[in-house]
Chain A
Amino acid sequence: MAEAEAEWELCKENIQPLRGGRAMSALKEALTLQEEGGSAITQRQQAFETELRMYDGDDPLDVWDRYIKWTEQTFPQGGKESHFSVLLESAVKKFTEENKYYNDARYIDLWIKFADHCQEPLDIYRYMQAQGIGLMSSAFYIAWSEEYEKRGNFRNADSTFQEGLNCGAKPQDRLKQFHKALQARVTRQVMSGMGQESGVVDAMEMDMEEPNRKTLVELKALGKEKAVAPISRGSSITTHQPRRLQMKAPMAPLRNSRLMVFDENKKVAEPQDPKLESWMGPPSARAKENEQKPVKWTKAKLPKKTHAGLPVVIPAPAKPTFQPFVEECEQPPAVTPCKINPSMNSVLSARKPHREETPLKRVQDWQAQHQAAGAQAPGADSKPREQSMYCKELLFNGATEFCIEELRAMRYHQKHAQRLVASSSSSNSSPGDESAGASAASESCRAGPSSSGSSH
């Protein structure tokens, strides 16, 4: 046991923390499994994928819930093979229509995990509120106010708890307990703040007095050519400093802020969205690193070369050295303006315009589409609609796609297993057979198309 513990200690920085903490046994198992090689894990994944598509009962959320929980425990480092964010997004999207799950603790838990994965969790929580998801659950309000607290917005954190209490969220004791804890933290801060000499003065000024270079701010332009670091990280970090007292001026727009912090108290006329919710258009959820448009690096120009006897046209690059932040509404996209001779390179063809996609936007769009389809809105789409004549939902239900033959093979295996059970139970009639048979059937159906014997 000591060695297993030592092993965990060695790679603990690679283990992503979970909200609810990790079970030590599951963690150890996951780490040993990963060392041995991925096949046991892949088999289990396949089993889950099969179950997702074959499930016939009343509670499909159960399969998703178990799958996601297992993924979380088995992939402590996260990573692409876990398909975790894909799964989360699919699960969340799939049940947006199912009102019965709106106050199901498992579903709300999925949403909270989803929000954690997005860049702007606050938007997710607001969306949930607008849709009526989780309004009766204290976990929802607790998670939401935690987000506010992280950003130093104690007033909103407090009011979120109030809202929860007003709505009568259950369990109430838990809500009150967390509320009290928040209030305690706030008062402690105020007290410690009062104790210091500089008091509640904006702490930025404190740094100004020191002759050293400021930490975490914009880098000054260096050199003759005023080269600037392409991504300015300074501002976004300073806006998120925790424990920074902003009780005095919570609504003041932050300096150097490239993010427009949504303020619900301001009466902002929502420009777009004639659709369902009262707001739309959150900033991107996944970090898009190189958002800046390409610019000239140096003044040097390449001499015009000829290639295969044809002249190459090098276009002039974009003019501005920085792009002022524009909120992404219906912004026309980055169509590459190059006029590269197509005979040379078919890779760089003009990209078709596409909307900036964020997970939340995808969920909203999906829901909007479904509602439109349900309402049978004629002429809602300008382009002629196309209908795929195959069972799309079944094929693409999980994290990975299936082909039609895989689906059929799954069904074949399940039937085959049932036939085996039927023939074996008819030959011997012990009562314990039913459960043994059923589990054998489900085992072989879970074995699905790829594994010969699942290990679990």
Chain B
Amino acid sequence: MTPPLLGGVEEVASSASLLASSTSVESVCENGSAELKERNYMGLSDSSSSGDSSAISAVTGESKTSLNLKATELRLGLPGSQSPERNSDLCLFASTQLDEKPLFPLHPVNDNHGSSMPKNLLLGNKRGFSDAMDGFSEDKFTSDSEVNAMLSPRSSQNLENLSSQPAKAKEVVGQKPAQERPLVSNDPRANNRSSANNSSAPATKAQVVGWPPIRSFRKNSLATLSKNTEEVDGKAGASALYVKISMDGAPYLRKVDLRNYSAYKELSLALEKMFSCFTIGQCGSHGTSGREMLTESKLKDLLHGSEYVLTYEDKDGDWMLVGDVPWEMFIETCKRMRIMKGSDAIGLAPRAVEKSRNKD
């Protein structure tokens, strides 16, 4: 039967030509061909074409940095997937040899030296993980495989090419807005997969449908449970507790979720960060230069010094100084907060100013 794959390959090739100045698309026969060829859509590094496997194997024995260089070779494949060096014995079509190959080699890596068989990567239609990120219908996948091709390489020499291409790719890919997600979200993934350790992967919110394979009951329960445990020191959290915060002289109010904090100090730090933009002018007058100098301690001085005090309105409508009552009681009774100038706070309590100095 005519494999429909060939039809797919041509489609990909024609779209890829939009992106690369030269494309070298080789037709791929998946059944019965002795050699599995890599295709090189970007046409950038010829050394990664199928014939030059010795270049690939030469890299194997070297350090991790070389492997990373390998990662930068452009080939159509899953982001981070490498062309594994294959012993010719491991050729899929030489099954008799395979039987003799030991499965517990002492050094599995060394076994794969001197390959002549680059991995048969995408036949153009293979679903990469990033393809599946969409979890959508087939017709998007052709564009997705281009995205794959673009995202595999990482080296700086390709960056110039890449930087102009994302825009183009977005044109091609971007007919349905959902497709842009792979580009955006895959970048950190692709970068991280190419590196040996993945520990620095930033959290990517885009998820493949049904991955990781955890029962949805468990997934949902954990999501609720961990959210609750993070709040308020491991006690069961209720819903968020948002209160408005105003600051004298600031053009607009802010809102904070008091359940995000477990102590006054955390709240105070958060407020300082939040309202730092409003106090830059003050910093200037205090002799600091520019935003970089606006350190936390300086802010603290500002807020806890003579300038500002943090107050709140409680359930009875009275304005109180923040910090007098235990935290638990505070979040129960606080209706809204106000960062007022020290001079205004005099009416609250004369010791307010001293108290805020003591907090430092």
Q: Do A and B come from one complex?
A: no
On B, residues with C-beta under 8 Å from A are: none
